[in-house]
Amino acid sequence: MKVTAALNFAADRSHGGVWSNGNREWRTQKLKAQEVELTDARTLSKVPSLTREGFEIHSVPINTPDWDNADWVHTVYLPNSLELIKSLTGAALVLPFYNGGVLIRDTGDMTRAPAADFVHLDNTHASIEFFLGIAADEAIGARYPRVKLFNLWRSVTPPPQDIPLALCDMRTLDEADGVEGRTVEPTFPDGVPYLSAVHNHTQAWYYFSDVRLDEVIVFQGYDNQASEPMGCLHGAFRLPVGPTSAVPRASVEQRIFAFYEQ
């Protein structure tokens, strides 16, 4: 099943401007809506994988989640996420990104971070080094030279979703299309570099319809091996004919580093 919908790409190849999760007035991105065809990944005859397209979906139920409770996130959810990434990737070591917190996005609550409704990668090669320095010391870096970053994305509102998550097959990413911007937050007033991207007709786009509360979408966000795809461009988008019964979509994200000996 395919749908045609508008995704927001970088308007040009100049600086991508500023994005902020916490302050809408700080956003200066130059974006251009482009109609693209997206395939519902649930309808594919061959199930997507982390090693090919760069994304998978799994049923991983979480009992009585308490997303606003930092203690619950770190003592219950984070260990679950670390175990999941280790089992899915075969990594020798897994560590949390930026202390393992979660980011809650809520399209129905103006006090929350909004859906990131533009095409992007969360980090650049430069910015990932900063976060690696927080997650791992030099000894870990020397022992495990290959590093990947994975994002765990959950909808915390039930299906149907009017604003799904678009995912680009990482094999169709051309890094030359990347446009650097900066995410500015109170904790990072100077900004953290990320990549948006201009539209390229070679990009292959997908989404998962009707993501259940027990499901988690896992996708690659970074790979430090230059000969391999960096990760999956992604972003929220609105279905052209959204379900009238949809609750405004809220989601939760967490990122995990995976380390390999080679």
pLDDT in tens, 170-203: 999 999 999 999 999 988 988 999 999 999 999 9
In 41-113, the DSSP E strands lie at: 55-59, 93-96, 103-106
Contacts of 180 (CB under 8 A, 6+ apart): 15, 16, 124, 193, 194, 195
Predicted pLDDT at 243: 67
pLDDT in tens, 84-132: 999 999 999 999 999 999 999 988 888 888 899 999 999 999 999 999 9
